[in-house]
Structure 1
């Protein structure tokens, strides 16, 4: 669309320049001198001495119209501000004004309006305090980035005025955002009606211009801000605070953010914010600034107190509606997306992205969206920070792969059920205790090495459609006082933004008993345990502590655990199943394998049986034949040697010679 109002204003400016040129010619002793403006003759100096510098014909203020009018209203610009901006941007719209200004500046190299020339073209004397204050650093034009005063080393009246390219392009009808903001900001975000939307919109309509949103797990601060801004008549300019603060030209980018918001009449949505966001560079009485983060507001960030709200998670009903709306009927018949992803902590924006990821996967598979697509899409929203602190494991085993007593699998199922239904129990039924306790689910897996603790954690994660994150103790334990707690805090903080199961293997190393204080080491060790006790209560995720030495865990942890699972050594019947399961269905076997003998003779845990089966497979592959008893007995002998056990006739019986031969290899 042609910006008619801008060209009409330029035409009026051109008429004033014609009058200014006529006045200039009257006082010019050599108007036809081809070198005029490159030197000063005696006659020119005399003419300057005789001239009394007067303003040109004053402008007639006209009603603000079109884009220029909307910008004036949004940015709080006066009629004089609009005319000063018009004078500055004229050469960027009509190249003739470069020559006009060069002539009026009496310097063909100065092709932009100077502050002195701009004031006189607006009908003001150069010494006018009213005009000069409209061009200082605190003036609306300058503070908002709509006008740039260059050549600061020059005297005030000979400094050049320039309108940024983004301002000119906007007034000419271009709505593309400033290219310098491409990395740190985007225009608009899909608004989702979330709790507190109407309250925030009411505050924005009442000219509240600073808001802090504390984002709770599953909350959508950006979506809440966008929905409220839309209801209040603003667009949304979403800025990544972490990327902005990391840029070396932070001040220039902040100015560009404010300018873009004013051009679009958009509120600035800034976050996530955990440290000082330097709000002074973004503050403007006409534009709302909505800051969001997982922490609280620090009064030092701004002298003005903000409106503080919490961005709560969607209700079950709203979450189900959002899933259905995003998938638009492309889901399998009878499948409820909200139900199969109920245990995922996802905000509105994450649900939208997860639904798109699930749809893309389903298209690649040539079918409708199923449970696996939905859960994979939900997992794709996990932050990557936790992978730097823990090893990510994508589960590949299920309940059928476990060979455990029925009582153990029942408790594992209870742990998974707690994770599935905690929204219903803790939120809808209000069974959540007070005291700032989190919504986490925590289990303890205790038992000897190889009894299936880690595999069970993987199965629980798989049943929930989650990834398993195994915490590496090397990244946690530190010899320096206080560093272990800091490392654990980083893990818990990152885990809060991840839908996964957090596994602390060998947990007794960091969750050990508190002891009597005999020296400073004992004191600090007890502080570490006390910190962990408090942090586990506020954890909102799913955590499993695995230990071979349950007695070494502090008793205070027991009360904070939801499920305690003791993993016994397998009996003979379970060992028989383990041998059969570990050998698998693809491994070629000799027909005379005596699995009953292996199960009855060797009291091994599942992990050792698995290791022996793999060793036997390698032995058979090297020899080029099917797996036989000789391979299995040799593999068991190797396991005995690793465990420090003797090869006795009581266990190996008729296979003792094979065992001795296998152990000697």
Structure 2
């Protein structure tokens, strides 16, 4: 709490008290019945005669002087005149010295009216009650009231008998209290720890007194941090307001007024965002306070009659992000770990990096205190927005490249997809290999193949190699029979995915990405619209997306042209099937005399079906209380055949047919 300016405030109130003493003496000199015990409760005939015989004159005017301390700073920020300051002091006095309540009750000739009325305040400032210039200083558009520094109560009364009140937050500020208004808890915060940044154009604009700016935020752009740094560079404090929480509050009007008042009190610029709908700009705007708005979309001219200064908040270069990581970790990084290489594919803003670094440091405390690559990536993942969890299933990868059993060419393409994600900053941003066209920075791949050939597992491996989570979306569940709803569902997914560092897997992609056909009816027309919308949205997506389909032939050529990598997953051949059986049966579960060569040659199953059969065999062995043997494996394969609608015959099962039949009849 800063109380350094209190002596000046008390000096000004003492001067007001001297004028009130003069006013009380004048009032007492004209009192015809000073001993009346019911003073203020009624009007006697003598009092009426005195009122008729005289005019109500102003009291001794104040001597204009320059305010200093917090009062002077507030006067400068809010654009107050000397008269405004004096009116503020008249209204403030009862909140600082309770004697003024009795003073005002006496001067109001009403012991129940313990605050200065508009008429009394004007007269104490030496102005006639009918002074148009004086009354204008109490108008709703006046600096005192537009900034929320003064409230005029009793709207049902005539203007001159309305009470003047100073809000508690203004009183506490002038008395040295720096706490944020309690009404703004959860909606706004004062930003003190502003990271140093090259604010460039924004800083110049704010120093030139530009009052409205709009930052279009790209993923990882750090618009809020950029705005805060620019405001601090221009000499303003920073008040950051959560636009979503402000909009959700039932009494939004009162809160916006409180935000505007808090900004004036602190000489702060307001940072508002992220905005996607029309924000309450008019209610937040003040002539002396800059307003910096940020959001993911372009500025809508309907939001304000005054055009803002537009600016794009782009992601930080990799080197700058690495420097922020090092600064946030404060020397606890393992010597062999390069934060730039470990987190190059994570798109995070400055504030997110600072929070992620703290999360990584906390995790490292449990493991010896040294931050490793795994800690860095876990900290980065902790900054993922939670909204996508409601729209997609999150998978924490638990596999790596060694778990894949695929042809070498397929594995090579998967490595290429991961490499694109890892090096896109250098190729797209530094080398500018994708100029123009409005395309995003995203990496997209298509996994095509029969069910069980390893598409989902491969996406999980790619996510694991990048240190990301995998989010799976079944596009078949996104399609809605009502016109326009499918596009809305997709937009929600892409919007939420923009705030997530993860791999987005769209399953059943052919549900929407099917070939556009000739329009024969309304259904064809709207199906084509859905496909066209998703094609366009995929091009502007900045994340990592993988689409999986069982039917590549059904996909539109315009879609496949926009993909970075297309991977065809074949049904495994005999050598791969043998390796799959060996991997899926594992080394932990006990097994005896399992003929892997026979299983690989006899049963043409995809990897997913082999894994399912291996798990079933383990359950059969657990129930029998013994190890996994051919009886359990063959029985599990027979069950898998029945699920696939295949016949269990001697052609495939050969000498193990009886085991299969016996197992399935238990």
User: TM bucket by the smaller chain?
Assistant: over 0.9
Partner SS, residue 587 of structure 1: coil
Q: List, as ranges, runs of 4+ consecutive aligned residues in structure 1 with deviation greater than 6 Å.
A: none
| 2:630 matched residue in structure 1 | 629
| 2:611 matched residue in structure 1 | 610
Q: State the distance in 2 between where 1:29 and 1:567 align.
A: 106
Deviation of 1:46 (Å): 1.8
Q: State the distance in 2 between where 1:221 and 1:555 align.
A: 38
Choose from 215, 218, 232 the match for 1:216.
218
Choose from 106, 111, 115 the match for 1:112.
115
1:127 to 2:140 alignment: no
| 2:663 matched residue in structure 1 | 662
Partner SS, residue 298 of structure 2: coil
| 1:80 matched residue in structure 2 | 83
Q: State the distance in 2 between where 1:431 and 1:189 align.
A: 39
**Deviation digits for residues 242-297 of structure 1 (CA, Å, limit 9, x no counterpart):** 11111111111111101111111000011111111121111111110111111111
Question: TM-score, normalized by length of structure 1?
Answer: 0.98
| 2:360 matched residue in structure 1 | 358
| 1:52 matched residue in structure 2 | 55
1:393 to 2:395 alignment: yes
Deviation of 1:382 (Å): 0.9
Deviation of 1:416 (Å): 0.3
| 2:263 matched residue in structure 1 | 261
Choose from 452, 457, 460 the match for 2:459.
457
1:4 to 2:17 alignment: no
**Deviation digits for residues 579-619 of structure 1 (CA, Å, limit 9, x no counterpart):** 111112221212x2222221221111111111111111111
**Deviation digits for residues 57-90 of structure 1 (CA, Å, limit 9, x no counterpart):** 0000111111100100010000000000000010
Choose from 439, 446, 449 the match for 1:447.
449
Deviation of 1:194 (Å): 4.3
Q: State the distance in 1 between where 2:102 and 2:39 align.
A: 13
Instruction: Work out whether residues 439 and 539 of structure 1, in 8 Å CA contact, stay in contact via their aligned partners in 2.
Output: yes
Q: Any residues of structure 2 matched to 1:229-628 within 5 Å, and which?
A: 229-473=231-475, 475-590=477-592, 592-628=593-629
Instruction: Work out whether residues 390 and 470 of structure 1, in 8 Å CA contact, stay in contact via their aligned partners in 2.
Output: yes
Question: TM-score, normalized by length of structure 2?
Answer: 0.98
Q: State the distance in 1 between where 2:558 and 2:298 align.
A: 30
Aligned residues: 663
| 1:26 matched residue in structure 2 | 29
**Deviation digits for residues 356-405 of structure 1 (CA, Å, limit 9, x no counterpart):** 11111111222311111111111111111111111111111111111111
| 1:181 matched residue in structure 2 | 184
Deviation of 1:414 (Å): 0.4
Deviation of 1:475 (Å): 4.2
Deviates more, 1:169-178 or 1:298-307: 298-307
**Deviation digits for residues 32-68 of structure 1 (CA, Å, limit 9, x no counterpart):** 2222111222222222222310000000011111110
Q: State the distance in 1 between where 2:478 and 2:522 align.
A: 21
Instruction: Work out whether residues 113 and 161 of structure 1, in 8 Å CA contact, stay in contact via their aligned partners in 2.
Output: yes
1:93 to 2:113 alignment: no
5+ residue gaps in structure 1?
none
Deviation of 1:647 (Å): 1.6
Instruction: Work out whether residues 191 and 224 of structure 1, in 8 Å CA contact, stay in contact via their aligned partners in 2.
Output: no
Deviates more, 1:354-363 or 1:40-49: 40-49
Q: State the distance in 1 between where 2:474 and 2:22 align.
A: 79
**How large is the Cα RMSD of the aligned pairs?**
1.2
Partner SS, residue 36 of structure 2: coil
Partner SS, residue 362 of structure 1: helix
Deviation of 1:189 (Å): 5.1
Partner SS, residue 543 of structure 1: strand
Instruction: Work out whether residues 190 and 226 of structure 1, in 8 Å CA contact, stay in contact via their aligned partners in 2.
Output: no
**Deviation digits for residues 307-346 of structure 1 (CA, Å, limit 9, x no counterpart):** 1111121122211211111111111112111221110111
Q: Any residues of structure 2 matched to 1:159-170 within 5 Å, and which?
A: 159-170=162-173
| 1:648 matched residue in structure 2 | 649
Q: State the distance in 2 between where 1:86 and 1:518 align.
A: 77
Q: State the distance in 2 between where 1:646 and 1:189 align.
A: 72
Instruction: Work out whether residues 476 and 511 of structure 2, in 8 Å CA contact, stay in contact via their aligned partners in 1.
Output: no
Deviates more, 1:395-404 or 1:35-44: 35-44
**Deviation digits for residues 488-523 of structure 1 (CA, Å, limit 9, x no counterpart):** 121112111111111111111111011122222212
Deviation of 1:646 (Å): 1.5
